[in-house]
Structures are given as C-alpha cells and as structure tokens.
Amino acid sequence: MLRKNAKVELVKRVPLFSGCSKRELEQIAGIADEIEMPAGKALTREGASAHEFFVLAEGSAEVERKGRIVNKLGSGDFLGEIALITGVPRTATVTTTEPCQMLVITARDFKALLRRMPSLQLKVLDALAARLPNEYD
C-alpha cells in the first residue's frame, strides 16, 4: 500500500494537475484507489468509452493503436487523464506487460471533487486547454 505522500507525488507528475496546490493534490490523491493488475490485462481498449484515469506506480504496459505498439509505459507514467474531463472514446489499447500497481481515479469521483473544490476547476481546464492542439499554429 502506498503512503499518502507517494500518492501525492504520483498525481503531481500529471500535467493536468500541474497548477494545483498541495492541498488540491492531496484531495485528488485521496480519491485515487490503489489497484493491482496482472500481466496481460487490458486497461483500456481503443474505441471504448472512457471513465477512468490511471497512474502506474509499479510495473509496465504497452500502448497499441490500430494493431501497432506505439509506446511503452512504466512507473510514474499515466493514461486516460483527458477521459476525466471529456469522456471521449479511448484512442489506444493499453495492456499490462508485467504485474502492475497503480492508482485509478474514476470520472464520477473526479467530477464530484471538482464540484466540492471550485478552485480546482479553472486550474484543470487551463491545463487541459494547454494540451489541446492549437489550430492557429
């Protein structure tokens, strides 16, 4: 089981939460559940609906798009953060390649936290906007 500080440190690395205060990061970490997944488990499936966000604490996973491996994830990496806000379908299939310990935050819990902490809303939206492609470039 991860210590509270370890959960905060993992959450802090996520660009979506880059503008958050320590208190806000603690609140986000507080809604994160710790789960363990065996090797070979699909965390997401390309085209499927998205309802959660993952941060890998330990282990590794592969990211596959249209049948091709496009990335490998390891400890400290994350996936699905945009799903917390938008609920858009998954853009890739992610499968664990070894046993993983991770944090998971559901969209439902995250939206409830945003309602309880309005200060978090603007920070998350600013970070989300910064990650979207700029059509004027």
Backbone phi, psi, residue 68, to 5°: -115, 140
The pLDDT tens digits along the chain (137 residues) read 677 788 999 999 888 888 899 999 999 999 999 999 999 999 999 999 888 999 999 999 999 999 999 999 999 898 887 777 777 888 899 999 999 999 999 989 989 998 999 888 888 888 777 766 555 55
- For residue 33, the model assigns a pLDDT of 94
Q: From residue 83, how far is each of 33, 38, 58, 76, 98 by CA, in Å?
A: 17, 23, 22, 18, 24
Q: Whole-model pTM?
A: 0.83
- For residue 134, the model assigns a pLDDT of 58
- Using CA atoms, how far apart are residues 79 and 81, in angstroms rounded to an integer? 6
- For residue 83, the model assigns a pLDDT of 73
User: What would the two tokens of residue 125 be?
Assistant: 């939206």
Cβ(104)–Cβ(54) below 8 Å: yes
- For residue 129, the model assigns a pLDDT of 76
- For residue 131, the model assigns a pLDDT of 64
- Using CA atoms, how far apart are residues 71 and 59, in angstroms rounded to an integer? 14
- For residue 47, the model assigns a pLDDT of 92
- For residue 17, the model assigns a pLDDT of 86
- For residue 136, the model assigns a pLDDT of 52
The residue ranges of DSSP E strands in the chain, in sequence order, are: 33-37, 42-44, 52-58, 61-65, 68-73, 78-79, 93-96, 100-106
- Using CA atoms, how far apart are residues 32 and 55, in angstroms rounded to an integer? 9
